[in-house]
Structure 1
Amino acid sequence: MDGAVDGNAVALPSAGAVATFGRAPSLERPTAAARLRSLARDLSGDGDLVVDLGRDIGSANWWRGAITVALLAGSAAFIGARMSPMPAAPVPAYTPTQQIEASAQAIAPLSAQSETGRRLAPTSMVRPLAETPERPQIEVAATLRQGGEMERTLRNAGVSAEDASAAAGLVADAVALSDINRGAALDIVLGRRPNKSVPRPLDSLAFRAAFDLRLAVSRQGGELRLKKIPIAVNDAPLRITGTVGSSLYKSARAAGVPARLVAEYIKALSFGIDFQRDVGANAKFDIIFEHRLAETGETETGKLLYASLDRGGKKLQMMRWTLGGREQFFDASGEATQKGLMRTPVDGARLTSGFGMRLHPLLGYSRMHKGVDFGAPHGAPILAAAAGRIEFAGSNRGYGKYVKISHGNGLATAYAHMSRFKVSAGQRVQQGQVIGYVGSTGMSTGPHLHYELYRNGRAVDPRSVKFTSRTQLAGRDLNAFKAKLGGLMQIASGPKTTPGKATALAQSKAPNEAKDRAKI
């Protein structure tokens, strides 16, 4: 039986056929997307939108491809004509540093003084020069051996005889040539000359004639003229304080005191202090000395002005003072004490062995020790205990390198185991003068000074000799002495500033100080 039922119907086929069941087709309207897909299938035929325009020319498929290309090109032209350029940030110009970096990586013509690119051989257009051209100016650096050789130094640098004489004369009118420091650096500029057969003229000359003065000679209107250029200098004394620690010498040097002034400091105090027994690690040293600081940064160190050592309540102060044309150190009360012999003839030493019988460290048996031993670093300076004449300086068996000084009146001192000498036999020395350096020559177990004192040819204990001479200031001298001492005590400890910085600092502080006074 044949039949059809709407909806979920069952189709009954004829006999011998297979029965099938299914849903009746939907009668809904197709969507917009479905219609577009259907249109694309109808236009493309086989579904390929990419058409080879070189094949089947004139066919429907070819025309479809040509129309597609024309539409795409027209759309691009139509849209592009109506688009405006996108704004962008302007590119900044190269800085001089960037230009140098860029030129090193670029290729430029040789005419622009480029160091890149390919160098070509000269053509027939190039003509050789008759002579090599000279530079218009030449800068020369020379060193002045002695102030009196100014003219000779300029001549050796290539300056003409006439200009060298004129420049030396101008300098001599400004400062004494003998006062110019040996080794002064001369900055010389030589100008253009008419031909190579004559010396170059002097265009300018500049050098430091003194610590606080610079001279400049320049050519103006065909003549050499001199100009003085003052250099500001901070002349305030420099004060350095610190703790003795394990070694007075090392601590003072580490604090910035020059070696020469450390030796002078120890010498000034050695008449009143036994550095081996009276100075502990906690003692405080105070040193003031002449010091000059130029605005250009150079420094110059002068004499020791003040020496002090505080040993926990026991404070010794010594200040340099001139009396009767002679400089010497006076204590805070205005008294100068000079002993016949220095107690410590070596800087920064410690007493390691006394005078008398002892067990010899090398020989192994007891024998008389005719002096005292001071342990000190190798190379430490050894000072003459008093003024006198060098009686012997040379090797002396177990003493090693040995110096003996005769001081007159039957007194003599001897110094053994030196590393090297600073004096020779027959030479006269002053008290505190360096005569040699600590070593370990001869029969010695390590660096030290063996120090002996002879009275009428017989060895005596150096620590047993005590004789002094005293000078006391009074009246106006004492008042002036105490006034100067008070001024030195006002100096602050620490580094100094250059004159330029000090002026700027004072100007910056002035407004604040005025405000503080107004508040008060």
Structure 2
Amino acid sequence: MTSSTLLEALQSSVGRFQSAAHRHPRRVSAAVVALLAGSAFTAFGVAPLTSLPQGPQPTITQINEAVAVPELPAQLARMDEQSLVLYRSDVTRPADTVDSLLARLGVDDLDTAQFIRNDPVAGTILQGRTGKSVKATVDNGQLRELIVRGPADTTNDFDTHFTRLTITRVQEGHQPAHWNVRKELVLLETMPQMASGTIQSSLFAAADDANVPDGVTNQMAEIFGNDIDFRRELRKGDAFSVLYEAHTADGEPMTWGGSAGRVLAARFINKDKVHDAIWFQEAGKKGTYYDLQGRSKTRSFLASPLAFSRVTSGFAMRFHPVLQKWRAHLGVDFGAPTGTPVRAVGDGIVSFAGQQNGYGNVIQIQHSGDRATVYAHLSRIDVRRGQRVEQGARIGAVGATGWATGPHLHFEFKLGSHQVDPMTIARASDSQVLSPQALAQFRQRTVDVAKSIQAAGQWQLAGAQSGPRFE
């Protein structure tokens, strides 16, 4: 067959194949797979014969060797002699008894249960706050060791220490078992923790979803309080990232709550605008928060006289609940329980502290530049006239004295004799700037923290930019 004839035959075959592929695609696919599989086997069988170099065949030596069978029955018997030690963890619950707690921990030990009920120290396991962390070492149902971690017993140590109660079973030969009990006050440890969240309804709800402690959320609201009006400017889709000190007990998270550590750095994205804050303490000065350019987040006036609270009535027209008519509300009302601490929003001197008609118990503080602040409806007054106070100092407590329908704080900011919006004054007040030498130290010490918070913030920004406004 000539080359031209072979080419024509090949073209004819390709045409028939294409036509068959269009009419019977499944059959053709199956045939191709079978053909490829057959080719693979053929190549596997033929290729080695053609590719191996010709030469003498290797010598094959057969070796017979006896293989020892493992003594499985003996090994299983030795395994049966070993005791099984289990570690179980849980937390105390409101309805717990000694028996129910031990049962959840896998302890079937009547003697231990009786000892805990009768011993004055061991019996404190179920006393006080619930949610204590409990870890039990169990050997065939018998308790070997029980470790209980909970809050410190004294108020002064609550934020810095925890209580560790250890109960150990001691068994010596055939003697009856006895138990050692040790109760210690141990220093809490701190470890950096990063968390991020996106606002859907409120800051606290988003923080709860991100497992951020309330104390950390309060700090964030405080840090960015002069930048963001959380009452009117928060929107759905806003985002935050925060690096904070998480308190741990023996390296484990505190299950009973408690105070949170300090916020080390935070980023809040509000209406596509990015706000940053990093904790820094200049030598010889009080530590505070600065943005990435080294400008202090602390201003001459705080945005709120309460750490964080619900605004019930803003600086605007409103229907007065007592007078039953519309009138200008020349201050801001903060809803909070009676007894909530009230603080001075800036440095100044107390110009009035006492009772005044509808204001009830009221304090007025005179600040520099003919500026004054008023704190009304207090349940108690903790300062006296003529006393100098610093920003953040406690001056009284929330109440419902005077013309008040419920516990809240009425707060006013005055320029001369005219009331103005406190938020406007807080944002316009001066902020401290680091010196060039301190700024160099700030950037050197916080470069890694800044990178972490920026990376987290950029990830959150993608979701924040598309969020609709929260009304």
**TM-score for the superposition, normalised by structure 2:** 0.49
**TM-score for the superposition, normalised by structure 1:** 0.45
